[in-house]
Structure 1
C-alpha cells in the first residue's frame, strides 16, 4: 500500500560487492542528497530501542553505502514514507530485524546514538521519525531512517554487504551499544556540540516543577552564544528534559518551557539572534540517570543544545 500522492520512480541502489544492486522505488519527487560508497568501512546497526543508557547494535564491517534523498511534498508522514519502502524490502527478501517510531525507538537519545548523515544530507524531526533494520542473508544488512520537515520528507539508507559482524553484549549475553559519548567537561561545550551534534548545558539548574533559571553566570551559555555570534548561519535547537515526577503531558510542557527559558536568556543577556534558536521539550522520555535518586533526578532536569546544520 502506498501513501497518498506516492508516485513511483525506479531507482537503482547499486553497491559493489557480492550482494549486488538493490532496487527500490522512490517518489518521483525524490532528489538524491548523498551517495557515499566505501569498499571497507564499519556501521553499527541498531537492533533494539535505546533504553537504560544503552542501545543494542550489530557492529558490521564490509562494503558500506550511505545514501539519502529529499522528497518534495507536504503532508507526507514518516509512516507513509516508510511503509512502501518496508514492503519493497520484504519483497526483495529482507527480514525486518527491528522497527520503531520516535518514542518507541528511544526518542532523542536514539537519534543521537545512531548514525545520521550531517545536514543538509539528512534532516530528522525529533518529534517524528521512524527506523528499521533489515537483513537479507548473512552478508547483507541495512538501516533505513525516515523523517520530514514542514515541506519535505527525508530518507536515509545505510547498507553493508559482504559483512563481518559481531553483536556487542554484556557479561550476561545482553546486547549493548557502544560506550556513551564522554560527559561534558568545562570549556569543551562547543567541541562536543560540533563533534557529536549535541551537548548538555550542564551548568544550568532547574528545580522540580519549575521552568525558572537561576541568575548565576553560565559558562556553557557564554560559550554557546560566542559560537552562534561568530557563526551566524548556524542554528541550534534547545531541548528540555525533566525528571520522572508527575504526568508525561505536564512534563513535556514543562521541558519545553525550560528550553524556552534558556532561549530567552541567550537572546536577552547574550544578544544571540532569535532566528538561530528554537525550543523543544521531551519531558522524562530521555533520561541520562536513574530517577530513583535525587542525584539522578537532578541530572535529568537539563537542557541540551542540538546543532541543526553544519554550515
Structure 2
C-alpha cells in the first residue's frame, strides 16, 4: 500500500513548531526526527537482536495482521505538554519519515485501528513512559526500501528493509509519542564451544537482584518489575514473597539518599477500567506504605500511580498472562 503522497496531502494544512534541527538520518542508522517544540524524552530501550511484530492492518475477527522483522530494535518515547491535537503531532513526525525515504505501509486512528483490541494487541512501552488513551490515538507503520539490487542480492532486499512504527496518543493535557525502529544489522558472531565443553555455571535466578543489582537495572532500563510483589485478581495485600524485593528496594534507596522513585501499580483486564485504575493505585500505595513504615524510607521520596490494565506485559487471554500483569513496577525519577 503506497500512502506516502496521499499522507502528505492529507496533512497539508497542519503545522506545528518544532525544536532545533537535528541531523538527517543515514541508511541503517536510528531515525533522526525534529520533535514538536517542548517535547521531552522519556525513555530509550534497545534490543541488540530481536523480533518485532509490526502491525500492518487493523484489528479484525482474524486478529491484527503482523509482519515479523528481525534486527536491532530501538524503542523511544517522548511527552509533550501542549494544546496540539494527536493528528497535528503525528503529521509533524510523519512528514519527516516520508522525507527520509520511508513508505507508509499502514495508518489508522482509534476506531479504524480497532480501538481496545488493537491497542492491546500491539507492543507499547509500559506506563508512565507511554500512555495510550483508548479514545484518542493514531498509529502508523512505515518502511524504508532497500537500495536498488539485482540478481542474487534481490532475495535479501526484503530482509534488509528498515521499518518503524509510530504511536501517538493524548491523555489529559499530555501527548505521548512512541517510535519503534527495527534496523537489520550484522551482529558480531557468538563465541562457540563444542557440545562436550561445559559452559560456566549460570547464577540462580534472582541471585543478582541485590540492592546494587537493582540499582544497575534501574539506571539501565529506567524501571523494574518488583519480584514477588504479586496479587490475586482484585487483591491488594502483599504476601511474604514480596519481602525480599522490598528489602532490596529499601537498600537501594538507603545507598542512594537523593534518589526518588515512582511506584506504579498494574492489574489484569478483569473488570472495568476505572475500577482497575483505582485498584492499581491502591497496590502502589500499599508498597509505598510498607517502604515508609517498615523500612523508614522518607515518604517524600516516593510517588505513586496506577496504570490499571493499560500497560500489560503479557496476554490477558491466559491465566498465566493475567498473573504477570498483576504487578508493581518501580520507576527511577532522579538519582
Q: What TM-score, normalized by structure 2, do the two folds share?
A: 0.56
Distance across 2 between alignment mates of 1:108 and 1:280: 23
Q: Of the candidates 111, 123, 129, which is equivalent to residue 125 of structure 2? A: 111
1:46-195 to 2 correspondences below 5 Å: 47-48=54-55, 58-60=69-71, 74-76=82-84, 79-90=87-98, 93-97=101-105, 104-106=118-120, 110-111=124-125, 124-126=129-131, 132-138=140-146, 139-142=161-164, 144=166, 163=184, 185-186=206-207, 188=209, 190=214, 191-195=216-220
Distance across 1 between alignment mates of 2:247 and 2:208: 10
Q: Deviations over 1:179-217 (max 9, x none)?
A: xxxx96255161544444333323234343232335787
Relative distance call for 1:296 and 1:188 in structure 2 (3 A) is same
Gaps of 5+ in 2: 1-10, 43-47, 57-65, 147-160, 187-203
- Matched residue, 2:17: 7
Report how many residues are paired: 267
- Matched residue, 1:175: none
Distance across 2 between alignment mates of 1:66 and 1:156: 7
Relative distance call for 1:261 and 1:107 in structure 2 (3 A) is farther
Distance across 1 between alignment mates of 2:268 and 2:69: 31
C-alpha contact (below 8 Å) 2:15/2:92 kept by paired residues = no
Does the residue aligned with 1:110 lie in a helix, a strand or coil?
coil
- Matched residue, 2:262: 237
Whichever structure has more helix as a proportion of its residues is 2
Does the residue aligned with 1:225 lie in a helix, a strand or coil?
helix
- Matched residue, 1:278: 303
The Cα of 1:42 is off from its aligned counterpart by: 6.8
Distance across 1 between alignment mates of 2:327 and 2:76: 34
Does the residue aligned with 2:55 lie in a helix, a strand or coil?
coil
C-alpha contact (below 8 Å) 1:205/1:213 kept by paired residues = yes
Distance across 2 between alignment mates of 1:216 and 1:160: 38
RMSD: 5.1
- Matched residue, 1:178: none
Distance across 2 between alignment mates of 1:239 and 1:23: 31
1:202-221 to 2 correspondences below 5 Å: 202-214=227-239, 218-221=243-246
> 259-268 or 297-306, which moves further after superposition?
297-306
Does the residue aligned with 2:90 lie in a helix, a strand or coil?
helix
Whichever structure has more strand as a proportion of its residues is 1
Structure of larger gyration radius: 2
Distance across 2 between alignment mates of 1:68 and 1:213: 32
Distance across 1 between alignment mates of 2:229 and 2:252: 18
- Matched residue, 1:169: none
- Matched residue, 2:330: 305
Does the residue aligned with 1:11 lie in a helix, a strand or coil?
coil
